[in-house]
Every structure is written in C-alpha cells, then in structure tokens.
Amino acid sequence: MPKRRGLLVILSSPSGAGKSTLARRLMDWDAGMSFSVSATTRAARPGEVDGREYFFRTPEEFARMVAAGEMLEHAEVFGNRYGTPRGPVEARLADGQDVILDIDWQGGQQVRRSVLAHDVVSVFILPPSIADLESRLRGRAQDSDAVIAGRMAKSRDEISHWGEYDYVLINRELDRAAEELRTILVAERARADRQPWLSDFVRGLNEEFEAR
C-alpha cells in the first residue's frame, strides 16, 4: 500500500514570536515529528549544543555546504547565514515523517519553490503586539540589547510576508496557539491528495459492496 509522504511544516515569524516554542509543543504532541536542525554561522548561545539547536559552522564551512548543493534553502538573517541541510529532510519525508522547519521568510520562499513544494504546509506566526514581541525577546534573556534592537528593527519586514503563507496564527496564549497549530496539521494530513493509499481502501469498500 503506498505510504503517505511526510509533511514539511514551515514555521516563520519575527524573531521571538514563538516558533521554537510551538515547534516543541508539536513534537510533544506527536513524537513522530522531527525538527530540522539548521546550520548557521552565528555563535552558539550559552546552553546551545552543536548538532542539537544548530550545526554551528564557520563561514567557510557554510559556503562549502552551499557550493556542494547540500542546502535545501539558505539565507542571511540578522547578519549571519542560516540554512537547512537537505539530506536529512528528504530522507525523513520519504520515510513518511513530518519535519518542522523554523526558518525565515526568505527560506520559506525557496522551499515553496523547490521540488518539495507539494509536501509543504507553511504557517506564519504573529505576536499579539509589538510590545509583547519585545518583552518575549527580552524575557528569553539570550541576546544582548543591541541584538534585540536589531531583531526588533527587522520584525516589521518579516511580518510583511505573512500573506505568502498557507496559514497565519496569532501566538497570544500558548496553549491556544499550540492547539490551533495541531488542528492545521490534522486537517493537512487528512487531505485526500496526501493519502495515496485511499484508492486501495475505497477499492476494498467497493469489493465489500459487491460481496453483499
């Protein structure tokens, strides 16, 4: 019976709106989903581990990965380079696993134009207000004031891309936003064109009709 291919779930938002938090909620809900670990040239934050949050790479190593065609997408974000390693994503999709990409709008555009476009569900996450966005970035306590100011300055531009996404949700109350995200996944998985085994199943129903 043909197996469903995995879904590529793109989450984008201005920095601090809650993508990683919502991605973790999705994986708590369905342990079969996985997170694509990006490569980046940015320095690791305290507590971040190479290969877990990111593959931390030098600019030269990152450029080599791009030149070798190893990136599904890549972009410069806040002065650093970020990219999605292609191999693990393609392998997991082919195996029927859903994969979450926490990437910016530039990466979102590239993935939607790629050969994997049919597998994509894209979700843009808005903060309830700009004041909340700033207080979340500050509350995370992982970036300097200068870095936070830079990210706030770019947030308007990121938000301007919301209309390019399949779904948009406002991450006001976390439990509610996580529930909305799960609902999107449930609906997308149930789409007829994502269940290639359905024609076999309906053939079985017809055989049952004929045997009555």
Ligand X SMILES: Nc1nc2c(ncn2[C@@H]2O[C@H](COP(=O)(O)O)[C@@H](O)[C@H]2O)c(=O)[nH]1
Binding-site partner at residue 84 among ligand ATP, ligand X, none, CB < 5 to 8 Å by type: ligand X
Distance CA 7, CA 97 (A): 7
If one asks whether residue 42 binds ligand X (CB under 6 A), the answer comes out as yes
Q: Is 141 exposed, middle or buried (0-12, 13-18, 19+ CB in 10 A)?
A: exposed
Question: Least CB distance from residue 93 to ligand ATP, whole Å?
Answer: 22
Residues between 54 and 93 that touch ligand X (CB under 6 A): 73, 75, 77-78, 82-84
Question: Least CB distance from residue 35 to ligand ATP, whole Å?
Answer: 11
# residues near ligand X by CB under 6 A: 16
If one asks whether residue 120 binds ligand X (CB under 6 A), the answer comes out as no
If one asks whether residue 18 binds ligand X (CB under 6 A), the answer comes out as no
Question: Least CB distance from residue 28 to ligand X, whole Å?
Answer: 20
- Contact partners, residue 35, CB within 8 Å, separation at least 6: 23, 27, 99, 100, 102
Question: Least CB distance from residue 22 to ligand X, whole Å?
Answer: 12
Q: Which lies closer to ligand X via its Cβ, residue 83 or residue 127?
A: 83
Q: In the set 5, 18, 35, 38, which binds ligand X (CB under 6 A)?
A: 38
Longest CA span, the chain = 73
Residues that bind ligand ATP (CB under 6 A): 13, 15-21, 136, 139-140, 171, 173-174, 177
Which residues make up each annotated binding site for ATP? 13-20
